[in-house]
Chains A and B, each alone.
Chain A
Amino acid sequence: MPAVIVHELVKKYGSAKEPVEALKGISFNVEKGELFGIIGPDGAGKTSLFRILTTLLLPDSGSASVDGFDTVKEYKQIRNRVGYMPGRFSLYQDLTVEENLQFFATIFNTTISGNYELIKDIYSQIEPFKKRKAGKLSGGMKQKLALSCALIHRPSVLFLDEPTTGVDAVSRKEFWGILKGLRAQGITILVSTPYMDEAGLCDRVALMQNGQLLSMNTPDGVIADFKYLLLAVKGPNMGKLLQALKLFDGVEDAYPFGEYHHVVLRNDGDQQRLEQYLREKALDISIVPVKPNIEDCFIALMKN
């Protein structure tokens, strides 16, 4: 049985007259032991989804189960077996590091020593500061404490809502290393992120926008679904180049991508014609086909 089953889930906010649909009937499964990423910008509906799955919010329609338990009728069983790290730091700021961990262990009828093995790699990094109040920790340390507290009862499914938002590239890499280690211990992990480049670190991903899933697949599968030829183009005047690219009739889309512009071509055969066109405009350029990444796919799906 899948660890998580989501079936046509709908969540609305606001008044009956002006409803805001945060989830527009989404469905997916997460298999046991999977590291599953929900990738999408703010406002996609990621947090609503996580709050429903952790039994903190009721859906308007549809259903969901975690470890075989219904999120509405059997919420108590779910609360005992999942770990949840919300997007906002939500530990007790005026308790110390150790007191916070102790508190969460006690609530779940366990002890720190009982499950220390699972959190050792993470908690040992903040243990030297265990007498410090949680509110006085740096961002990276808060994140590690929150993760330790979410893990202390050895949950079967771990929900992490945007754990890397606002975190620098080095700490992000480190955090994903930790997740890989937890997955190796058999914990199912659902993680949401607005950073497209983190998709490649998941077993499967769901790309989410405006309460809907745009695509769901392995990261390689999402990329294989990109049907166009993608070119990376670079020149001395990038602004002028982008304008010229957008005016070319064979171009489906063109947008800046780091030091290049990415150009989505409708027909593979158009590459030569494009080069010719840019040369006629006396634009000195380099042009190479590139493999799309998740962000290219997301942009293409958004514009569909």
Chain B
Amino acid sequence: MNNENMISAEGLTKRFGDFIAVDNISFEVKKGEIFGFLGANGAGKTTAMRMLCGLSLPSSGKGLVAGFDVYRQTEQIKKNIGYMSQKFSLYEDLTITENIRFYAGIYGKSNAFIKEKTARVLKQLHLEQEANKLVRSLPLGWKQKLAFSVATFHEPSIVFLDEPTGGVDPVTRREFWNMIYQAAENGITVFVTTHYMDEAEYCNRVSIMVDGRIDALDTPSALKKTFNAASMEEVFLRLARSATRSDA
């Protein structure tokens, strides 16, 4: 991790009519940092992430992602980030290599690069034998690990992970986090949301959104100290219960 900011948000706000989905949030994420982005359902996480990924224009405030402006340079942002979510990650009816080639092609990678790196990724994942199998036939855990490799295949400076480990078994969930650590060590900044509170502990810093605001932001150990809590779950519950916006 170094001091270069990969994400900086200043007063970032998104309104839908009268409703303020994201309310004046400010934070920075450093290069190589693993940044946990927590919040209850409806707190505004998805809207905030969409603005940072260049998919939704803010109503006000400033934002820079990988050095690009969230208003004017959304195409550059998209080229320089990776994204995966639990809900959608890979095409089920394409094979593993077809998925890799498709995504790498979208990001404009050369055939030589794709060929060399595909071999490397398949070896790392121990998926060489399955290279030509449909993604549909893979167990979920493998799918998610493959999806992460695909999301970082074009060597983005930041990868956004939206609940990447939902429903994954406890052993594979840990293998997945091991991949996150490796990516961070290679200088990729990781922006991750999760509902597993133990995973909040694996982040360098964690922010917690409540009613569109960021109500807490610090290292897990500092947050526990501040809130005099034994675990991140306790910190989270205390903050999230203060919400007035209802997702009843």
Q: Which residues of A contact B (CB under 8 A)?
A: 40-43, 125-126, 138-141, 144, 162, 165-173, 194-196, 209, 239, 255-259, 295, 298-299, 302-303
Contact = CB atoms under 8 A, between A and B. Distances in A.
A168 B41 contact: yes
Nearest to A171: B41
B140 A43 contact: yes
B220 A170 contact: no
Contacts of B243: 170
A171 B40 contact: yes
5 contacts: A42-B140, A125-B248, A165-B167, A169-B233, A171-B41
Interface residues of B, number: 37
A302 B40 contact: no
A139 B198 contact: no
B171 A299 contact: yes
Contact of A41 (B169, B195, B247): B169
Interface in B11-67: 39-42
Given A141-B248, A258-B231, A170 B171 contact: no
Given A138-B41, A258-B231, A41 B248 contact: no
A209 B240 contact: no
Contacts of A171: 40-41, 247
Most chain A Cβ neighbours within 10 Å, of B169, B197, B243: B169
B89 to A, nearest CB: 13
B102 interface: no
Contacts of B42: 138-140
Contacts of B141: 41
Provide the main secondary structure of the chain A interface.
Answer: mixed
Given A171-B40, A259-B221, A42 B174 contact: no
Nearest to A297: B170
Contact of A258 (B39, B232, B240): B232
Contact of B201 (A126, A162, A239, A259): A259
A296 to B, nearest CB: 9
B241 interface: yes
B84 to A, nearest CB: 15
Contact of A170 (B40, B174, B202, B232): B40
Contact of B170 (A126, A167, A196): A196
A158 to B, nearest CB: 21
B166 interface: yes
Contact of B169 (A162, A168, A209, A255): A209
A302 B41 contact: no
A291 to B, nearest CB: 14
Interface in B164-185: 166-172, 174, 177, 181
A144 B89 CA distance: 28
A138 B40 CA distance: 12
Contacts of A299: 170-171
Contacts of A259: 201, 220-221
Nearest to B195: A168
Contacts of A169: 40, 195, 197, 233, 236-237, 240
Given A196-B170, A302-B171, 7 more contacts: A41-B172, A43-B140, A138-B248, A166-B195, A168-B195, A194-B167, A255-B171
A126 B170 CA distance: 34
A139 B237 contact: no
B174 A256 contact: yes
A239 B248 contact: no
A252 to B, nearest CB: 14
A113 to B, nearest CB: 22
Interface string B219-247: 01100000000011100110011010001
Contacts of A255: 171, 174
A173 B195 CA distance: 13
B98 interface: no
B201 to A, nearest CB: 4
Most chain A Cβ neighbours within 10 Å, of B174, B231, B241, B247: B247
Contacts of B174: 255-256
A274 B236 CA distance: 34
